Amino acid sequence: MVDWIRDTVWWHVYPLGFFGAEKNSLPADAAPVARLRSFEPWLDYITDLGCNGILLAPLFSSDSHGYDTTDFYNLDSRLGTNADLIWFIERCRERNFRVVFDGVFNHVGRSFGPFQDVKHHRQGSRFASWFLIDWNNVHNEDGFSYANFEGHHRLVKLNHHNPEVVDYVVNVMNHWLGFGIDGWRLDAAYAVPSIFWQQVLDRVRQKFPDAWMLGEIIHGDYSHAVRQGHLESVTQYELWKSIWSALNDRNFFELSHALNRNNDFNNVFLPNVFLGNHDVTRIATELKDDRDVELALAVLCTIPGTPSIYYGDEQLWKARKEKRPGGDDDIRPAFPANPQQLHGNPVTYERYRQLLWLRRDNAWIASARVKMITLTNQTLVYESKFEANKFLVALNVSDSEFIVHSSSELSLIGGRANHTTTGWAVPSHCWAILR
Protein backbone atom coordinates (compact mmCIF):
# COMPACT_ATOMS: atom_id res chain seq x y z
CA MET A 1 0.00 0.00 0.00
CA VAL A 2 1.31 3.45 -0.89
CA ASP A 3 1.82 5.51 2.27
CA TRP A 4 0.68 8.88 0.93
CA ILE A 5 -2.91 7.74 0.48
CA ARG A 6 -3.60 7.76 4.24
CA ASP A 7 -3.41 11.55 4.35
CA THR A 8 -5.40 12.18 1.15
CA VAL A 9 -8.94 13.52 0.88
CA TRP A 10 -10.27 13.63 -2.68
CA TRP A 11 -12.46 16.16 -4.46
CA HIS A 12 -14.14 14.14 -7.19
CA VAL A 13 -14.95 16.12 -10.34
CA TYR A 14 -16.66 15.28 -13.62
CA PRO A 15 -14.83 17.78 -15.89
CA LEU A 16 -17.13 17.79 -18.92
CA GLY A 17 -20.03 18.64 -16.64
CA PHE A 18 -18.05 20.95 -14.35
CA PHE A 19 -17.11 23.20 -17.27
CA GLY A 20 -20.49 22.96 -19.02
CA ALA A 21 -18.89 21.42 -22.11
CA GLU A 22 -20.80 20.41 -25.23
CA LYS A 23 -22.62 17.08 -24.99
CA ASN A 24 -20.84 15.64 -28.02
CA SER A 25 -17.30 15.85 -29.38
CA LEU A 26 -16.30 18.92 -31.36
CA PRO A 27 -15.96 18.69 -35.16
CA ALA A 28 -12.50 17.59 -36.27
CA ASP A 29 -11.73 21.03 -37.69
CA ALA A 30 -12.93 22.94 -34.59
CA ALA A 31 -10.39 24.70 -32.38
CA PRO A 32 -9.95 23.21 -28.88
CA VAL A 33 -11.57 25.11 -26.02
CA ALA A 34 -9.08 25.64 -23.19
CA ARG A 35 -11.60 25.13 -20.42
CA LEU A 36 -9.27 23.15 -18.17
CA ARG A 37 -7.20 26.24 -17.39
CA SER A 38 -10.33 27.78 -15.90
CA PHE A 39 -9.94 25.36 -13.00
CA GLU A 40 -7.21 27.45 -11.40
CA PRO A 41 -9.52 29.61 -9.22
CA TRP A 42 -10.95 26.44 -7.74
CA LEU A 43 -7.63 25.22 -6.41
CA ASP A 44 -7.86 27.69 -3.51
CA TYR A 45 -11.47 26.61 -2.91
CA ILE A 46 -10.43 22.97 -2.69
CA THR A 47 -7.56 23.81 -0.36
CA ASP A 48 -9.85 25.74 1.97
CA LEU A 49 -12.38 22.92 1.95
CA GLY A 50 -9.78 20.48 3.20
CA CYS A 51 -9.12 18.35 0.14
CA ASN A 52 -5.60 17.66 -1.10
CA GLY A 53 -6.37 15.33 -3.98
CA ILE A 54 -8.32 15.71 -7.22
CA LEU A 55 -10.05 12.65 -8.65
CA LEU A 56 -10.98 13.41 -12.24
CA ALA A 57 -13.65 11.64 -14.23
CA PRO A 58 -12.82 11.03 -17.94
CA LEU A 59 -10.63 13.65 -19.60
CA PHE A 60 -9.62 12.05 -22.86
CA SER A 61 -11.06 12.44 -26.34
CA SER A 62 -14.46 10.83 -26.55
CA ASP A 63 -17.62 10.74 -28.61
CA SER A 64 -19.87 12.17 -25.90
CA HIS A 65 -19.85 11.68 -22.11
CA GLY A 66 -16.20 10.69 -21.70
CA TYR A 67 -16.76 7.00 -21.04
CA ASP A 68 -16.75 6.36 -24.78
CA THR A 69 -13.05 7.16 -25.14
CA THR A 70 -11.63 7.54 -28.63
CA ASP A 71 -8.02 8.57 -27.87
CA PHE A 72 -6.31 7.88 -24.54
CA TYR A 73 -3.30 10.01 -25.41
CA ASN A 74 -5.11 13.32 -25.93
CA LEU A 75 -7.24 15.59 -23.78
CA ASP A 76 -10.78 15.99 -25.07
CA SER A 77 -10.77 19.12 -27.24
CA ARG A 78 -13.84 20.36 -25.35
CA LEU A 79 -11.46 20.79 -22.41
CA GLY A 80 -8.36 21.96 -24.27
CA THR A 81 -5.09 20.51 -25.50
CA ASN A 82 -2.45 18.31 -23.94
CA ALA A 83 -0.51 21.47 -23.12
CA ASP A 84 -3.47 22.54 -20.98
CA LEU A 85 -3.58 19.16 -19.28
CA ILE A 86 0.13 19.21 -18.48
CA TRP A 87 -0.28 22.77 -17.19
CA PHE A 88 -3.06 21.53 -14.91
CA ILE A 89 -0.93 18.68 -13.54
CA GLU A 90 1.93 21.09 -12.85
CA ARG A 91 -0.34 23.56 -11.02
CA CYS A 92 -1.58 20.72 -8.83
CA ARG A 93 1.94 19.54 -8.11
CA GLU A 94 2.94 23.05 -7.03
CA ARG A 95 0.22 22.87 -4.37
CA ASN A 96 1.08 19.30 -3.35
CA PHE A 97 -2.26 18.08 -4.66
CA ARG A 98 -2.50 14.44 -5.64
CA VAL A 99 -4.06 13.81 -9.06
CA VAL A 100 -5.82 10.66 -10.25
CA PHE A 101 -7.17 10.14 -13.77
CA ASP A 102 -10.17 8.00 -14.72
CA GLY A 103 -9.04 5.10 -16.91
CA VAL A 104 -11.85 3.63 -18.98
CA PHE A 105 -10.12 0.43 -20.02
CA ASN A 106 -13.05 -1.96 -20.11
CA HIS A 107 -14.52 -0.45 -23.27
CA VAL A 108 -14.01 2.29 -25.85
CA GLY A 109 -16.12 4.51 -28.07
CA ARG A 110 -16.99 3.51 -31.60
CA SER A 111 -14.69 6.24 -32.97
CA PHE A 112 -11.66 4.66 -31.28
CA GLY A 113 -9.00 4.35 -33.99
CA PRO A 114 -8.46 0.57 -33.81
CA PHE A 115 -12.22 -0.07 -33.92
CA GLN A 116 -12.58 2.21 -36.93
CA ASP A 117 -9.84 0.20 -38.60
CA VAL A 118 -11.83 -2.98 -37.94
CA LYS A 119 -14.93 -1.42 -39.48
CA HIS A 120 -12.93 -0.53 -42.57
CA HIS A 121 -10.81 -3.66 -43.01
CA ARG A 122 -13.01 -6.17 -41.17
CA GLN A 123 -11.21 -9.52 -40.63
CA GLY A 124 -8.18 -8.08 -42.40
CA SER A 125 -7.62 -5.45 -39.71
CA ARG A 126 -4.60 -5.96 -37.50
CA PHE A 127 -6.84 -4.81 -34.62
CA ALA A 128 -9.60 -7.37 -35.19
CA SER A 129 -8.47 -9.40 -32.18
CA TRP A 130 -8.61 -6.33 -29.91
CA PHE A 131 -12.37 -6.79 -29.71
CA LEU A 132 -14.84 -9.65 -29.17
CA ILE A 133 -16.47 -9.81 -32.60
CA ASP A 134 -19.11 -12.11 -34.04
CA TRP A 135 -18.60 -11.95 -37.81
CA ASN A 136 -21.63 -14.16 -38.44
CA ASN A 137 -24.14 -11.65 -37.12
CA VAL A 138 -24.59 -9.35 -40.12
CA HIS A 139 -27.98 -7.87 -39.27
CA ASN A 140 -26.85 -4.48 -37.99
CA GLU A 141 -25.22 -1.26 -39.17
CA ASP A 142 -21.68 -2.70 -39.14
CA GLY A 143 -22.30 -6.07 -40.72
CA PHE A 144 -20.94 -7.75 -37.57
CA SER A 145 -21.68 -7.67 -33.86
CA TYR A 146 -19.40 -7.20 -30.88
CA ALA A 147 -19.40 -7.43 -27.11
CA ASN A 148 -20.31 -4.16 -25.43
CA PHE A 149 -20.63 -2.75 -21.94
CA GLU A 150 -23.88 -3.79 -20.27
CA GLY A 151 -25.94 -3.54 -23.44
CA HIS A 152 -24.71 -0.09 -24.51
CA HIS A 153 -24.11 -0.43 -28.24
CA ARG A 154 -21.78 2.57 -28.44
CA LEU A 155 -19.42 1.20 -25.78
CA VAL A 156 -17.24 -1.43 -27.45
CA LYS A 157 -15.72 -3.94 -25.04
CA LEU A 158 -12.01 -4.66 -25.37
CA ASN A 159 -10.61 -8.19 -25.54
CA HIS A 160 -8.69 -8.29 -22.27
CA HIS A 161 -7.09 -11.62 -23.10
CA ASN A 162 -5.17 -10.09 -25.99
CA PRO A 163 -1.52 -9.31 -25.05
CA GLU A 164 -1.57 -6.29 -27.37
CA VAL A 165 -4.43 -4.79 -25.37
CA VAL A 166 -2.44 -5.39 -22.19
CA ASP A 167 0.54 -3.60 -23.75
CA TYR A 168 -1.64 -0.71 -24.89
CA VAL A 169 -3.15 -0.08 -21.45
CA VAL A 170 0.25 -0.36 -19.74
CA ASN A 171 1.66 2.22 -22.14
CA VAL A 172 -1.27 4.61 -21.62
CA MET A 173 -1.03 4.41 -17.84
CA ASN A 174 2.74 4.84 -17.83
CA HIS A 175 2.50 7.74 -20.27
CA TRP A 176 0.39 9.89 -17.94
CA LEU A 177 2.08 8.72 -14.76
CA GLY A 178 5.24 9.98 -16.40
CA PHE A 179 3.70 13.46 -16.54
CA GLY A 180 3.21 13.45 -12.78
CA ILE A 181 -0.21 12.05 -11.96
CA ASP A 182 -0.43 9.83 -8.87
CA GLY A 183 -2.71 7.03 -9.94
CA TRP A 184 -5.72 5.76 -11.81
CA ARG A 185 -9.36 5.11 -11.10
CA LEU A 186 -10.13 1.97 -13.09
CA ASP A 187 -13.65 2.34 -14.42
CA ALA A 188 -15.88 -0.75 -14.47
CA ALA A 189 -13.05 -2.80 -12.97
CA TYR A 190 -15.64 -5.41 -11.98
CA ALA A 191 -16.30 -6.16 -15.66
CA VAL A 192 -12.63 -6.90 -16.47
CA PRO A 193 -10.91 -10.25 -15.79
CA SER A 194 -8.65 -10.11 -12.73
CA ILE A 195 -5.76 -11.58 -14.70
CA PHE A 196 -5.80 -8.51 -16.94
CA TRP A 197 -5.39 -6.16 -13.98
CA GLN A 198 -2.63 -8.38 -12.60
CA GLN A 199 -0.70 -8.22 -15.85
CA VAL A 200 -1.19 -4.50 -16.33
CA LEU A 201 -0.67 -3.25 -12.79
CA ASP A 202 2.34 -5.42 -12.03
CA ARG A 203 4.09 -3.98 -15.05
CA VAL A 204 3.06 -0.40 -14.28
CA ARG A 205 4.34 -0.69 -10.71
CA GLN A 206 7.75 -1.77 -11.96
CA LYS A 207 8.15 1.79 -13.20
CA PHE A 208 5.81 3.64 -10.82
CA PRO A 209 5.76 1.77 -7.49
CA ASP A 210 3.94 4.60 -5.65
CA ALA A 211 1.01 4.79 -8.07
CA TRP A 212 -2.41 4.28 -6.47
CA MET A 213 -4.86 2.02 -8.32
CA LEU A 214 -8.55 2.34 -7.43
CA GLY A 215 -10.90 -0.19 -8.94
CA GLU A 216 -14.59 0.57 -9.44
CA ILE A 217 -16.21 -2.44 -7.78
CA ILE A 218 -19.93 -2.08 -7.14
CA HIS A 219 -20.65 -5.32 -5.29
CA GLY A 220 -19.18 -8.70 -4.50
CA ASP A 221 -16.12 -9.70 -2.50
CA TYR A 222 -14.05 -6.53 -2.27
CA SER A 223 -11.05 -8.18 -0.62
CA HIS A 224 -10.99 -10.89 -3.24
CA ALA A 225 -11.14 -8.29 -6.01
CA VAL A 226 -8.17 -6.44 -4.51
CA ARG A 227 -6.10 -9.58 -4.06
CA GLN A 228 -6.89 -11.10 -7.44
CA GLY A 229 -6.58 -7.87 -9.41
CA HIS A 230 -3.53 -6.54 -7.51
CA LEU A 231 -5.47 -3.34 -6.84
CA GLU A 232 -4.69 -0.80 -4.14
CA SER A 233 -8.32 -0.03 -3.31
CA VAL A 234 -11.92 -0.34 -4.46
CA THR A 235 -15.02 1.84 -4.22
CA GLN A 236 -16.92 1.04 -1.03
CA TYR A 237 -20.47 1.03 -2.42
CA GLU A 238 -21.70 -1.25 0.35
CA LEU A 239 -20.89 1.37 3.00
CA TRP A 240 -22.23 4.21 0.84
CA LYS A 241 -25.62 2.53 0.64
CA SER A 242 -25.74 1.62 4.31
CA ILE A 243 -25.03 5.20 5.45
CA TRP A 244 -28.01 6.84 3.75
CA SER A 245 -30.25 3.83 4.14
CA ALA A 246 -29.62 3.58 7.89
CA LEU A 247 -30.31 7.29 8.35
CA ASN A 248 -33.48 7.21 6.27
CA ASP A 249 -34.84 4.08 7.94
CA ARG A 250 -33.62 5.04 11.41
CA ASN A 251 -31.88 1.68 11.57
CA PHE A 252 -28.32 1.97 12.81
CA PHE A 253 -28.02 -1.82 12.92
CA GLU A 254 -27.54 -1.71 9.16
CA LEU A 255 -24.76 0.86 9.50
CA SER A 256 -23.15 -1.08 12.34
CA HIS A 257 -23.01 -4.19 10.17
CA ALA A 258 -21.41 -2.26 7.30
CA LEU A 259 -18.86 -0.59 9.59
CA ASN A 260 -17.82 -3.96 10.99
CA ARG A 261 -17.37 -5.29 7.47
CA ASN A 262 -15.39 -2.18 6.59
CA ASN A 263 -13.02 -3.11 9.44
CA ASP A 264 -12.48 -6.46 7.74
CA PHE A 265 -11.78 -4.81 4.41
CA ASN A 266 -9.32 -2.45 6.06
CA ASN A 267 -7.28 -5.45 7.14
CA VAL A 268 -6.58 -6.06 3.45
CA PHE A 269 -6.75 -2.64 1.78
CA LEU A 270 -7.74 0.99 2.36
CA PRO A 271 -11.28 1.40 0.96
CA ASN A 272 -12.39 4.44 -1.00
CA VAL A 273 -15.29 5.72 1.12
CA PHE A 274 -17.73 8.27 -0.27
CA LEU A 275 -21.21 9.78 -0.02
CA GLY A 276 -21.57 10.59 -3.70
CA ASN A 277 -20.01 10.33 -7.12
CA HIS A 278 -20.85 10.98 -10.77
CA ASP A 279 -22.98 7.83 -11.04
CA VAL A 280 -25.38 8.13 -8.09
CA THR A 281 -28.10 10.39 -6.73
CA ARG A 282 -26.64 13.17 -4.60
CA ILE A 283 -26.57 12.50 -0.88
CA ALA A 284 -28.72 15.57 -0.05
CA THR A 285 -31.41 14.17 -2.36
CA GLU A 286 -31.06 10.57 -1.22
CA LEU A 287 -31.54 11.52 2.42
CA LYS A 288 -35.10 12.26 3.52
CA ASP A 289 -34.01 14.84 6.10
CA ASP A 290 -31.46 17.55 5.27
CA ARG A 291 -30.27 17.51 8.87
CA ASP A 292 -28.89 14.03 8.33
CA VAL A 293 -26.37 15.19 5.73
CA GLU A 294 -24.12 16.24 8.60
CA LEU A 295 -24.46 12.85 10.28
CA ALA A 296 -23.50 11.08 7.05
CA LEU A 297 -20.45 13.31 6.69
CA ALA A 298 -19.45 12.73 10.32
CA VAL A 299 -19.38 9.01 9.60
CA LEU A 300 -17.36 9.48 6.41
CA CYS A 301 -14.69 11.53 8.18
CA THR A 302 -14.24 9.29 11.22
CA ILE A 303 -14.00 5.80 9.70
CA PRO A 304 -11.04 4.02 8.10
CA GLY A 305 -10.49 4.49 4.40
CA THR A 306 -9.62 7.23 1.94
CA PRO A 307 -12.60 9.60 1.57
CA SER A 308 -13.76 11.41 -1.55
CA ILE A 309 -16.19 14.33 -1.81
CA TYR A 310 -18.23 14.73 -4.98
CA TYR A 311 -18.14 18.31 -6.21
CA GLY A 312 -21.20 20.28 -5.13
CA ASP A 313 -22.12 17.99 -2.24
CA GLU A 314 -20.31 20.40 0.06
CA GLN A 315 -22.83 23.07 -1.03
CA LEU A 316 -25.89 20.86 -0.36
CA TRP A 317 -26.59 20.57 -4.07
CA LYS A 318 -29.39 18.20 -4.93
CA ALA A 319 -29.99 16.04 -8.00
CA ARG A 320 -31.41 12.61 -8.76
CA LYS A 321 -29.94 10.09 -11.14
CA GLU A 322 -32.58 8.77 -13.52
CA LYS A 323 -32.60 5.75 -15.80
CA ARG A 324 -33.23 7.53 -19.10
CA PRO A 325 -31.16 9.18 -21.84
CA GLY A 326 -29.51 12.19 -20.21
CA GLY A 327 -30.41 10.87 -16.77
CA ASP A 328 -26.91 11.65 -15.46
CA ASP A 329 -26.93 15.31 -16.52
CA ASP A 330 -28.42 16.70 -13.32
CA ILE A 331 -25.84 14.99 -11.11
CA ARG A 332 -22.99 16.27 -13.31
CA PRO A 333 -23.69 20.03 -13.34
CA ALA A 334 -21.63 23.04 -14.38
CA PHE A 335 -19.86 25.17 -11.81
CA PRO A 336 -19.51 28.94 -12.31
CA ALA A 337 -16.28 30.59 -13.46
CA ASN A 338 -15.03 31.14 -9.91
CA PRO A 339 -16.00 30.40 -6.28
CA GLN A 340 -17.32 33.94 -5.75
CA GLN A 341 -20.16 33.17 -8.17
CA LEU A 342 -21.05 29.87 -6.55
CA HIS A 343 -24.55 29.74 -5.10
CA GLY A 344 -24.80 27.07 -2.46
CA ASN A 345 -25.27 26.55 1.23
CA PRO A 346 -22.57 28.24 3.33
CA VAL A 347 -23.61 26.42 6.49
CA THR A 348 -23.16 23.03 4.85
CA TYR A 349 -19.88 24.15 3.30
CA GLU A 350 -18.54 25.18 6.69
CA ARG A 351 -19.55 21.85 8.22
CA TYR A 352 -17.79 19.99 5.41
CA ARG A 353 -14.77 22.19 5.92
CA GLN A 354 -14.63 21.50 9.66
CA LEU A 355 -14.99 17.75 9.31
CA LEU A 356 -12.62 17.38 6.38
CA TRP A 357 -9.92 19.30 8.21
CA LEU A 358 -10.52 17.16 11.27
CA ARG A 359 -9.91 14.13 9.04
CA ARG A 360 -6.81 15.75 7.51
CA ASP A 361 -5.41 16.64 10.94
CA ASN A 362 -5.94 13.08 12.17
CA ALA A 363 -4.57 10.93 9.38
CA TRP A 364 -4.49 7.95 11.76
CA ILE A 365 -8.24 7.59 11.08
CA ALA A 366 -7.37 5.97 7.76
CA SER A 367 -5.97 2.97 9.62
CA ALA A 368 -8.42 2.96 12.55
CA ARG A 369 -10.72 0.20 13.66
CA VAL A 370 -14.31 0.93 14.57
CA LYS A 371 -15.94 -0.60 17.66
CA MET A 372 -19.62 -0.29 18.54
CA ILE A 373 -20.18 1.14 22.04
CA THR A 374 -23.92 1.89 22.05
CA LEU A 375 -26.33 0.64 19.39
CA THR A 376 -30.08 1.09 19.03
CA ASN A 377 -32.23 1.67 15.97
CA GLN A 378 -31.99 5.44 16.30
CA THR A 379 -28.78 6.05 18.28
CA LEU A 380 -25.23 4.92 17.74
CA VAL A 381 -21.94 5.49 19.49
CA TYR A 382 -18.80 3.98 18.03
CA GLU A 383 -15.14 4.26 18.83
CA SER A 384 -12.59 4.91 16.09
CA LYS A 385 -9.18 3.87 17.38
CA PHE A 386 -5.65 3.41 16.11
CA GLU A 387 -2.87 2.78 18.61
CA ALA A 388 -3.11 5.56 21.23
CA ASN A 389 -5.49 7.70 19.15
CA LYS A 390 -9.24 7.42 19.47
CA PHE A 391 -12.54 9.27 19.05
CA LEU A 392 -16.04 8.53 20.21
CA VAL A 393 -18.60 9.35 17.53
CA ALA A 394 -22.24 9.73 18.54
CA LEU A 395 -25.16 9.81 16.08
CA ASN A 396 -28.76 10.56 16.98
CA VAL A 397 -31.66 10.31 14.50
CA SER A 398 -34.31 10.04 17.19
CA ASP A 399 -36.76 12.82 17.97
CA SER A 400 -35.37 13.34 21.45
CA GLU A 401 -32.10 14.04 23.19
CA PHE A 402 -29.62 11.18 23.60
CA ILE A 403 -27.12 10.91 26.47
CA VAL A 404 -23.63 9.53 25.81
CA HIS A 405 -22.37 7.98 29.03
CA SER A 406 -18.66 7.49 29.57
CA SER A 407 -16.46 6.46 32.47
CA SER A 408 -13.68 8.79 31.33
CA GLU A 409 -13.39 12.53 30.86
CA LEU A 410 -14.26 13.52 27.33
CA SER A 411 -14.08 16.78 25.39
CA LEU A 412 -16.31 17.82 22.52
CA ILE A 413 -14.21 18.38 19.39
CA GLY A 414 -16.96 18.44 16.78
CA GLY A 415 -20.72 18.57 16.37
CA ARG A 416 -23.35 19.45 18.96
CA ALA A 417 -23.64 18.15 22.51
CA ASN A 418 -24.19 19.61 25.96
CA HIS A 419 -22.23 18.46 28.97
CA THR A 420 -24.43 17.20 31.80
CA THR A 421 -23.87 15.51 35.14
CA THR A 422 -24.48 12.14 33.49
CA GLY A 423 -22.57 12.60 30.24
CA TRP A 424 -22.93 14.41 26.93
CA ALA A 425 -26.43 15.16 25.62
CA VAL A 426 -26.69 14.98 21.81
CA PRO A 427 -29.79 16.75 20.39
CA SER A 428 -32.21 15.19 17.90
CA HIS A 429 -30.74 14.61 14.42
CA CYS A 430 -27.30 15.73 15.56
CA TRP A 431 -23.86 14.23 15.94
CA ALA A 432 -20.90 14.70 18.22
CA ILE A 433 -17.24 13.71 18.19
CA LEU A 434 -15.74 13.30 21.64
CA ARG A 435 -12.16 12.73 22.73
pLDDT at 134: 95
- 270 and 381 belong to one structural domain: no
Residues 32 and 165 in one domain: yes
Model pTM score: 0.97
Using 50, 70 and 90 to split pLDDT, how confident is the model at 221? very high
Cα 376 to Cα 30, 247, 255, 404: the distances in Å are 60, 12, 11, 13
Q: How confident is the model at residue 137 (pLDDT cuts 50, 70, 90)?
A: confident
Q: Quick one: pLDDT at residue 34?
A: 96
Mean pLDDT across 179-186: 98
When pLDDT is averaged across residues 7-31 and rounded to a whole number, the result is: 97
Clarify whether residues 99 and 211 are in a common domain.
yes
Amino acid at 199: Q
Q: 332 CB contacts (<8 Å, ≥6 apart)?
A: 14, 16, 17, 18, 278
pLDDT score for 140:
79
Domain end residue (candidates: 367, 395, 412): 367
How crowded is residue 124: how many other Cβ atoms within 10 Å of its Cβ?
A: 9
DSSP letter for 304, please: S
Calpha distance 29→180 (Å, rounded): 30
Boundary of a domain, candidates 323, 347, 367: 367
Residues 298 and 393 in one domain: no
Q: How confident is the model at residue 406 (pLDDT cuts 50, 70, 90)?
A: confident
Query: Within this chain, do residues 319 and 430 fall inside the same structural domain, yes or no?
Result: no
Which pLDDT band holds residue 80 (cuts at 50, 70, 90)? very high
* Average pLDDT of the residues in 27-53: 97
**Average pLDDT over every residue of 209-238:** 97
- Name which residue leads in pLDDT, 343 or 193: 193
Q: H or E segment at 70?
A: strand 69-75
Last residue of a domain, one of 367, 395, 418: 367
pLDDT confidence of residue 424: 96
Same domain, 198 and 221: yes
Dump pLDDT digits (tens) for 268-311.
999 999 999 999 999 999 999 999 999 999 999 999 999 999 99
CATH number, position 390: 2.60.40.1180
The residue range of the domain holding 424 is: 371-434
Rounded mean pLDDT of 254-258?
98
